[in-house]
Structure 1
Amino acid sequence: MWGALLRRGLRGAGGLRWLSSGGPPWSQVVSEAEKIVGYPTSFMSLRCLLSDELSNIAMQVRKLVGTKHPLLDTARGFVYDSRNNLQMRGLVVLLISKAAGPSTAELSFQHDMVSGIYSSQRSLAEITELIHTAFLVHRGIVNIGELKSCDGPLKDMQFGNKMAVLSGDFLLANACTSLAQLQNTKVVELISSAIGDLVQGIYYENSKSSEENCLTDDIGISRWKEQVFLSHSALLAKSCQAAMELAKHSAEIQDMAFQYGKHMSMSHKLHSDLQPFVKESSSDTMAFSLNSAPAILHQEFCGREAWLKQIREAQGKGNIVDYKKLQEAIKAGKGVTSAIDLCRCHGNRALAALERFPPSEARDALANIVYAVTRFP
C-alpha cells in the first residue's frame, strides 16, 4: 500500500516535488531555514538560558562531570548537537507561521510582524522549545537500583536525579508562565493537551522498559503510531495549529498546519529509528530498540513465533541479547524497507498539507525539512 502511495505523486499548484532518495542534507536545510525566519533558533531560549536561575543550575550540573549521569549528555547536546538540531520544533513553528502569513482578520495588526512572523508566534516557538527541553531533562532521571559502580558515586547520581527534576520543572514553569501571557484560551488548551500527551507517551515508554518482557513486547505498527504521536508528534502538531490560531487563520488552515507537524515529526522519528539499519559509514552495530519501527514491522512480516525464535537464538549466557545478530535478521527481512516506505508515506502527507499554503521561501524550507528526514543512503 505504501509503495503505491509513494508512486502517485502530488499535483498541487505550488509544484512541491514528490519524495525520492535525494534532497539536501539536514544541516544545510536548517541553516537555510534559520535565515528565512530571521535569526538562528539556537538563540531561541537565550533569555531563559541567561537567567540567574538557569545559570545556577548549569553550575550545579558541572558537579556531575566524571559520572555517567544522562543529564550531562543532555546538557552537552544543547551545545554541540548540530546533527539532530534540538531546536527543530521551534524552527518549524516559525516557518509555518511565516508560510501562512497574516489572515484577513489580522491585517490591521501587521505592524506587530517581524520577518513575516507575529511576536506572539515567536513566543509560542520559544514555549514549544522550553517544553521539549523540559521533557528531555526529565528523561535524564536514572533508576538508582540499576546503577553500577562504574556509573559514578551513588550520592552524585542521586544529586543528578534531583537536578533533572528541578531543572526540568523550572523550564516547564517558565513555559507555562509565557503561555498564559499569550492570553489566548484556545492556544492554552492546545499546548496544555500536548503536555498531557507527552506525559502519557513517556509514562508508557518507561512502564514498558521496566517490564521483564519488554524485549518481546507485541504492540504492532498501529499501536506504535499511537504511542509515537503522543511522545514525539503531539507537541509539534498542536504548536503548529496554535501558531495559526494566534494569527486568526481558518479552521482548515489550522488543521493543515496540525497535519504537517504530525506527519513531519512521524517521518523524523521513523528516520531516527532506521539509522542503525541503513548507516553505511560505521562497521559497528548501532544501538537500537526492539520496539523501534523496523523491528515491529519485521515482527509483523515474519510472525510472532518466528520473531520470538530469532530473539532466543540471539540470546547468549545470562539472556544477554546479541544485537548484531538480531540486527542482521531484521535487515534480511522486509521490516527496514517497509519502515522506509512508511517514513516517506508520512513525508508525502506532510507535503500534501503544505499544498494549502501559498508558494514562498518558508513553504519551500518546510518541504526541504521533509526531504531531509526522508533521505536515506
Structure 2
Amino acid sequence: MMPEVMPCLVPKLASAAEYFFKMGVEGKRFRPTVLLHMASALNMPIPWSATDNLFGSLSGDLRTRQQRIAEITEMIHVASLLHDDVLDDADTRRGIGSLNIVMGNKLSVLAGDFLLSRACIALSSLGNTEVVSLMATAVEHLVNGETMQMTTSAEKRCSMEYYLQKTFYKTASLISNSCKCVAILAGQTAEVSMLAYNYGQNLGLAYQLIDDVLDFTGTSSSLGKGSLSDIRHGIVTAPILFAIEEYPQLRKIVDRGLKEPADIDIALDYLEKSQGIKKTKELAAVHADHAIKAIDAFPESDNENVHISRRALVDLTHRVLTRTK
C-alpha cells in the first residue's frame, strides 16, 4: 500500500517524500496489514450507546476512514525513518541507499516533515478529535523515544525498564494507538478499543525484541543493513541487558560506551556465552501471547470474515516471532 501523498509545489520534495514507497523498501507493509485486519476483526454490530460518538455522524464510508488510518500510520512511520537515518548517519535502509545519502540530509529531513504535514491533513479530514489526539501522542512518543536513546544516562542505559519504555515509544506506540483509532472509528466501546490498543502494544514490543535479536544473529544481506548495527552505535538492547544480568562484569564494558572495537568484541563474547538471545526471544513470546489474548477477548461474532481477520492477526504474532529479516 502506498499512501496517497497530495501534490506538492516542489516536485523534488514530493519525489523525496515518496522515495521509499516507490523503491518498495517497506514492501512488507507490516503496519497497514495489521490495521486493515484489525478493521475487519472489529466489523461487528455497533453498540447503540456508541453511535453518538461515531465521528459525529455515520456519513462517509467506515472502511475508507479506517484505511486512511493505515495510510497515515505508514506516512508517520516512513517520516520517522527518514529522520532517524539522518540522526544515525545511515548509509542504507532495507537494502537500498538511505535518502540522506541519495539526496542529502536537508532534503531528507524536509521530506519527513512533508509526510508528517500530509498525515496531519489526512487526520483532520476524519473529523474525530480523539483519533487526532491519539495519533499526535504517537508522534510525540516517537520523538521522546529517540531522545531517550540519544541522551540516556549510564544507569538508565542498563535498565530493562528504561529500555522497554523507550522501545514502546519508538516502536509500539504508533501501532497500538493506530489500532485503537481503528476501533474508535468503528464506534466500538472503550473496552474493545483498549483491547485493540493492547494487541498493537504487545505486537510492537515483540517485533522490536526480535529485531534486536536479528541485529546480532542476522546477516547484512537478510537485514538490509550491517549486522551489529545497534551495538556499533553504542545502543544497548535486550540481549545485552540480559547478558549483563548473567555476567555483571559486562556492565563495565557497556559503561565505557562501546566505542572501541575491542570493547564490542568483549561484549559479543559475553553475549555468546550468555542466555541473552534466548531470554530476549522468550520475552518476545510473552508479549506475543499477550497480543493473542487481546484478540481472544474480542466480543464473539458469527461473521466468518471477522474470524478470518482475527486468525490473521494471531498469525501475524507468530510470524513476528519466527521472522528472519
* TM-score calculated relative to the size of structure 2: 0.78
CA spacing shift, 1:371–1:203, aligned 2, 3 Å: same
2:311: which partner in 1?
364
2:43: which partner in 1?
101
Select 1:122's aligned residue among 67, 75, 78.
67
Select 2:13's aligned residue among 57, 61, 67.
57
2:159: which partner in 1?
220
- Please give the alpha-carbon distance, in whole angstroms, between the structure 1 residues aligned to 2:72 and 2:219: 37
The answer to whether structure 1 residue 234 and structure 2 residue 234 are counterparts is no
- Please give the alpha-carbon distance, in whole angstroms, between the structure 1 residues aligned to 2:218 and 2:112: 33
Q: Which has the larger radius of gyration?
A: 1
AA matched with 2:138 = A
1:243: which partner in 2?
182
Select 1:345's aligned residue among 286, 293, 296.
286
Select 1:191's aligned residue among 132, 135, 140.
135
Q: Percent identity?
A: 24
Q: Is the 8 A contact 2:288 2:317 kept in 1?
A: yes
Shift of 1:179: 0.6
- Please give the alpha-carbon distance, in whole angstroms, between the structure 1 residues aligned to 2:102 and 2:63: 43
The answer to whether structure 1 residue 373 and structure 2 residue 320 are counterparts is yes
- Please give the alpha-carbon distance, in whole angstroms, between the structure 2 residues aligned to 1:203 and 1:285: 23
CA spacing shift, 1:374–1:157, aligned 2, 3 Å: closer
Q: Is the 8 A contact 1:220 1:300 kept in 2?
A: no
Shift of 1:275: 1.0
1:6: which partner in 2?
none
Shift of 1:111: 9.5
Q: Is the 8 A contact 2:195 2:297 kept in 1?
A: yes
Could you say what secondary structure the match of 1:196 adopts? helix
The answer to whether structure 1 residue 139 and structure 2 residue 84 are counterparts is yes
CA spacing shift, 1:367–1:55, aligned 2, 3 Å: farther
Q: Is the 8 A contact 2:156 2:162 kept in 1?
A: no
2:106: which partner in 1?
162
Shift of 1:178: 0.9
In structure 1, the gaps of 5 or more residues are 1-41, 62-70, 148-155
- Please give the alpha-carbon distance, in whole angstroms, between the structure 2 residues aligned to 1:367 and 1:324: 38
CA spacing shift, 1:278–1:353, aligned 2, 3 Å: same
- Please give the alpha-carbon distance, in whole angstroms, between the structure 2 residues aligned to 1:281 and 1:127: 30
Q: Is the 8 A contact 2:239 2:280 kept in 1?
A: yes
Shift of 1:217: 6.5
CA spacing shift, 1:174–1:58, aligned 2, 3 Å: closer
In structure 2, the gaps of 5 or more residues are 92-99
Shift of 1:207: 2.9
Q: Is the 8 A contact 2:142 2:170 kept in 1?
A: yes
- Please give the alpha-carbon distance, in whole angstroms, between the structure 2 residues aligned to 1:166 and 1:280: 32
C-alpha offsets along residues 129-158 of structure 1, whole Å, 9 cap, x if unaligned?
A: 1111111111232589xx9xxxxxxxx979
1:33: which partner in 2?
none
CA spacing shift, 1:335–1:157, aligned 2, 3 Å: closer
C-alpha offsets along residues 94-120 of structure 1, whole Å, 9 cap, x if unaligned?
A: 11011010442489999965xxx6211
C-alpha offsets along residues 303-332 of structure 1, whole Å, 9 cap, x if unaligned?
A: 2x34325888x98xx933464553232021
Q: Is the 8 A contact 1:92 1:366 kept in 2?
A: yes
- Please give the alpha-carbon distance, in whole angstroms, between the structure 1 residues aligned to 2:227 and 2:108: 30
Could you say what secondary structure the match of 1:269 adopts? helix
- Please give the alpha-carbon distance, in whole angstroms, between the structure 2 residues aligned to 1:102 and 1:192: 27
The answer to whether structure 1 residue 182 and structure 2 residue 123 are counterparts is no
CA spacing shift, 1:198–1:98, aligned 2, 3 Å: same
Aligned residue pairs, count: 297
Shift of 1:354: 0.6
2:261: which partner in 1?
320
Could you say what secondary structure the match of 2:32 adopts? helix
The answer to whether structure 1 residue 92 and structure 2 residue 28 are counterparts is no
Q: Is the 8 A contact 2:172 2:204 kept in 1?
A: yes
AA matched with 1:273 = D
- Please give the alpha-carbon distance, in whole angstroms, between the structure 2 residues aligned to 1:79 and 1:102: 37
C-alpha offsets along residues 173-207 of structure 1, whole Å, 9 cap, x if unaligned?
A: 11111111111111111111111111111122233
Instruction: Indicate the RMSD between aligned Cα atoms, in angstroms.
Output: 3.6
- Larger RCO (CA within 8 A; separation ≥ 6): 1
Greater alpha carbon shift after TM alignment, 318-327 vs 245-254? 318-327
